[in-house]
Copies of this chain bind each other. A is one copy, B any other.
Amino acid sequence: MEHGVDLTDADRAVLLGLPRRSRRVAAKQDLIREGDPCEAVHLLLEGLACRYKVLPNGATQILALLIPGDFCHLHSAILDQADHSVRTLTPCVIVELPHATIFSLLEHPRIARGLWWSSLVDEAILREWLTGMGQRDAEERLAHLLCEMLARMQAVGLAVANTYSFPVNQIELGEILGMTTVHANRSLQQLRNAGLVSYGNKRVEILDLNRLQELCGYDAKYLHLQRDR
């Protein structure tokens, strides 16, 4: 949150003082299912999760990747029912915050601003994904995703030297990128053969960030991680 707004020590104290009943969840478990009535807000502390939708024909689209520090379902404070599902991709640790807690946080102007910022950044990422899905080809989309995840992992201190943990199998990779597993595999090989990335053992290493960014026209501004004011 501090990437988006300036918090005071008092604000930090409020956040750190929240009652925290953290919970472990196994991999591949739904945290929220589309259509569920909205109950608590979840905050991801450890692990990797995703938002997704399943169409009547069974086709699955992953809509967002959630990394530590992300809210899983801030929407639930306002909307009546979930319009998409959320599931863990790896074992995760999450905190559940009752709606009353969220509304009490809104009393603190800078924290309220931070929550709003977080929701707007989610939206900005969604716009970037939509742009890619409409206008970028398979290789560019994959390259863009790997650049984005590097930036986001760096922002929360989970990337070292252009390397980060990315425990996503190729089925899921296809569901993220809107393509088949087979084609995700082939796109990955293109990037590997070009010497741009190495991806094995659930870890991504970006070997040539400049060329990778150039390949997909990456510009990190949409992540709004620099605070200019």
Contacts and interface: CB of A to CB of B under 8 A. Distances in A.
Interface of A: 4, 35, 51, 53, 55-57, 59-61, 63, 75, 77-81, 83-84, 106, 112-113, 116-117, 119-120, 122-124, 126-131, 133-136, 177-178, 217, 221-222, 224, 226-229
B120 A130 contact: no
Interface centre among A59, A83, A227 (most CB of B within 10 A): A83
The 7 A-B pairs at the shortest CB distance, nearest first, are namely A134-B178, A133-B133, A83-B222, A59-B135, A80-B228, A61-B134, A61-B131
Contact of A79 (B120, B122, B126, B130): B120
Contacts of A221: 35, 81, 83
A75 B135 contact: no
A209 B4 CA distance: 44
Given A217-B55, A222-B83, A122 B123 contact: yes
B78 A127 contact: no
Nearest to A76: B120
A60 B131 CA distance: 8
A77 B113 CA distance: 9
A113 B112 CA distance: 12
A227 B28 CA distance: 32
